[in-house]
Amino acid sequence: MTAYHELSHAIVGHFLEHSDPIHKISIISRGQALGHTISLPSEDTLLTTKPHLSDTMAMTLGGRTAEQIVFGELTTGASDDLEKVTATAGQMVTRFGMSEKLGPRVFGHNHAQPFLGRQRSTAPDYSPVIAREIDNEIRHMVDAAHERAEEILLEHRDALTTIAEILLDRETLSREQFESLLAGEDDRDAIEPVATPAQPGRRERLGAGEGRMVA
């Protein structure tokens, strides 16, 4: 299940125009994560677009979607993915003004008093009606990302099954190996084990050109 989960992140991300290129896929456990998929941007950037955020959400939901498609059940393995996607959609709606329905508005006032030992918090400045609209918009964005991930995985289900078996055997695939296998190339280099050590994950920061690790 871990092999399908991680590979699905990679396949969904590979076929989305605005997601970062896949760097490595691994089912070697690290800490609480049973595996990880690392994507890295092609170039440094200080801004993040709405299409990029939307594609990244779809990629992040790839693992959970594969559990439904392949195994017909859900596990707790996607809890971190769901947290990331919900947070991203929430920021798109309440901080970045990326909701077509609610428009270019910011909802919630940030109050930071670090010298008083208080944590940063957000105080509501909107009515219960607006709160429901925000929830609906977040749900809509997450559902749309899930549907895109599902469409891609169903279209490439044969490749998912084939490469998952190779990943299960080899444990780690580099970008070149993954793309070669996905293209159906009969290349022995594509199935040789990766000799390079695993790189540490990098913390995601919206708006920054950093790598992303999805567990």
* CB neighbours of residue 167 within 10 Å: 25
For residue 114, give every residue at least 6 positions away whose Cβ sits within 8 Å of its Cβ, in sequence order, or none: none
Q: Catalytic: 6? A: yes
Q: Residues 55, 17: contact at Cβ < 8 Å?
A: yes
Structure tokens, 60: 């992040």
For residue 116, give every residue at least 6 positions away whose Cβ sits within 8 Å of its Cβ, in sequence order, or none: none
Structure tokens, 25: 């896929």
The one-letter amino acid at 62: G
Measured in whole angstroms, the distance separating CA 119 from the mean position of its chain's CA atoms is 27
**Distance between CA 9 and CA 38 in Å, rounded?**
9
Structure tokens, 75: 């596990």
The one-letter amino acid at 171: E
Radius of gyration from C-alpha coordinates of the chain: 19
What is the SS3 assignment for 35?
coil
Q: Residues 166, 72: contact at Cβ < 8 Å?
A: no
Which residue matches tokens 């970045």?
Answer: 96
- Out of 6, 67, 137, 150, the active site residue is 6
Just list the catalytic residues. 6
